[in-house]
Amino acid sequence: MAEFTFELNDDQQQVRDWLHGFAADVIRPAASEWDEREETPWPVIQEAAKVGIYSLDFYAQQYFDPTGLGIPMAMEELFWGDAGIALSIVGTGLAAVGVLANGTEEQIGTWIPQMYGDPDDVKLAAFCSSEPDAGSDVASMRTRAVYDEAKDEWVLDGTKTWATNGGIANVHVVVAVVDPELGSKGHASFIVPPDTPGLTQGQKFRKHGIRASHTAEVVLEDVRVPGACLLGGKEKLDERLARARERARSAGERSGKQGPGGAKNAAMATFEASRPAVGAMAVGTARAAYEVALDYAGTRSQFGRPIIDNQGIAFQLADMRTRIDAARLLVWRASWMATTGKPFTSAEGSMSKLFASETAKSVTAQAVQILGGNGFTREYPVERMHRDAAIYTIFEGTSEIQRLVIARTLSGVPIR
């Protein structure tokens, strides 16, 4: 029996230290500038590519770490540096996960390398799922994909929103409706290759936080992609749709509700795989804010002594650190379970994302409070960290959706 341990092995420690050094030396010094500019930090991404962090090889090494801790460890360190810049560096990964979760080996080998490019020609990718009227309610998705059998092409029409790297990406992964009668089970994912006519960037959003990360609408008008761009292939899609139709007929329902053993929705398969990683991002931001607050409390004096000498401050810091460590353990558990093939029988992936994201909001708010008036200014990074932390309870499944998933899983009841 393998030894149970919470310790990272030597290789993992070296990678963690390397990432921490990059975050401290490259990401943090640039964080305030790119937050103010609200632009994609291309020089930082290019530097990450140059040293090997922004690359398919690095991503694959962490993704296939047999312990499952490679990705969450990397996310925590990069987001400790800065959430906006880190999301610009890792945002391509969500599209890559979409291909890994739904694509064939040939599609994985063809498209994921094109998402990253190389240090001399950096590329980006975007995962496009949410729509103006379909965020948490994926069953309301309207973007359609119609198969043109004569040309062996899929024709995509619709508007996506909240897409990281949307419109500026080299490769877009788009979730679309192929059978509207099946609700969320009637969705499929498609690769939109570079320079495909009909795909344009819509509104670019000016955001409360993670402002160094590009977020925009993606408009698809008569976008034609080859049949080979359907992730998983048409034969697999036809089989999945046939099973879904048979289940719908036998149950007499058309709600698209996911039951035990049912086929996975294309977007949900991606989000299930990425939720612990988002939890790790939140842990990184929370840890960064906690460290600033701890250092400030030890050096800031009031009434003749450091403010950490007061229980009101010391107890807050104790709670902050406890929540951070608990969140990390939930993330590591979910990541280990996913890698070792253990099913999320109690929605452990959603648990990790829920607790870590709520922890980031709480801890960054406490850090602002500990710094007092200084914490409310942009002279100190906790103000930015607090703004950045707000996104974790929203994207890739809101906290409310995570609670719904957990409650349904535990109870077996279709709670609404």
266-411: CATH class: mainly alpha
CATH 1.10.540.10 range(s) for the chain read 10-122
CB 294 within 8 A of CB 300: no
- Terminal CA-to-CA distance of the chain, rounded, Å? 43
∠ at Cα 14 (9, 18), nearest 5°? 150
- Is 272 a catalytic site residue? no
Can you name the CATH fold of 10-122?
Butyryl-Coa Dehydrogenase, subunit A; domain 1 (1.10.540)
CATH 1.20.140.10 range(s) for the chain read 266-411
Active-site entry in 291, 383, 396, 400: 396
What is the reported pLDDT for 138?
73
CATH 2.40.110.10 range(s) for the chain read 125-251
Q: Is 343 exposed, middle or buried (0-12, 13-18, 19+ CB in 10 A)?
A: exposed
| Residue 160 to residue 361: CA distance in whole angstroms | 27
CB contact set of 222 (below 8 Å; sequence gap of 6+): 155, 157, 198
What is the reported pLDDT for 353?
97
Phi-psi region of 314 (alpha: psi -120 to 50; beta: other; left: phi over 0): alpha
Can you name the CATH fold of 125-251?
Butyryl-CoA Dehydrogenase, subunit A; domain 2 (2.40.110)
Q: What is the largest CA-CA distance in the chain?
A: 82
Q: What is the mean pLDDT of each run of 10 residues along the chain (416 residues)?
A: 75 97 98 97 98 94 93 97 98 93 94 95 96 79 96 98 97 96 92 98 97 98 98 95 86 46 50 83 98 97 93 98 98 94 93 98 98 97 98 94 95 90
What is the reported pLDDT for 265?
55
